[in-house]
Amino acid sequence: MLLVGLTGSIGMGKSTTAKMFKKFGYGVYNADDAVHYIYENDQKVIDQIEQKFPGSKLDNKVDRNELRNILTKDPKRFKDLENIIHPATRLYQINYIKDCIKNDLIGCILDIPLLFETRGEKYVDVILLVSASEETQKKRILEDRKLPIEVFERIKDQQIPDEEKRKKAHFIISTDQSIEGTEKEVELMVEEFKKIKTEAWIKHYSN
């Protein structure tokens, strides 16, 4: 089973592109969705976050707005949050991959925004970067999603610049085009993936 590390900076169209692989027999794991699930359901992690960030728990869930306020006041504490969240999401990712293996899927798309930042590239067969122009990125974030500019800039600061990711990726899909155009690129990418030897799942996830 092929493991594809799909990544890209905020506003590049990662999740939309990742979902396009489903009709070709790929499972799709979304790291952001895993974090949201953990914030609402994983009591052990919720308590760890509350202990590190007092006042961030509300109704036995992580109060994402309050946590965001805490981190905005002291961005250096993002590292403390990452030290809690990344090991937790890693477990969810492993379980998802094992489910894909059991269901005999041809591959699994791992939609992980911080793939390089967390050194996740070591655990996949191939890296696919989803990219777009800075103009398109800003429009999607500031106009379409109405994200405040300071939040956008803070998230960007946490991520490796797009030009560096381009050097590390095996393949790149541009979303500076119509949905139909991106779907066509995904279809071509599926054919390219058939040529790649699958090793990562045996090496890291077969036990």
pLDDT digits (tens, 9 = 90+) for 101-147: 999 999 999 999 999 988 999 999 999 999 999 899 888 888 878 87
- Find the CATH number of the domain harbouring 94: 3.40.50.300
- Rounded Cα distance between 12 and 133, Å, is 8
For residue range 5-63, list pLDDT tens digits in order. 999 998 999 999 999 999 999 999 999 999 999 999 999 999 999 999 999 999 999 99
Alpha helices (H) along 42-178: 43-52, 64-73, 78-102, 134-138, 149-158, 162-168
Query: 170 lies in which domain range?
Result: 2-204
CB 26 within 8 A of CB 108: yes
Q: What sign results for the dihedral spanned by CA atoms 54, 37, 169, 133?
A: negative
Beta bridge partners of 57: 62
Domain count, the chain: 1
**pTM of this prediction exceeds 0.85:** yes
End-to-end CA distance of the chain: 14
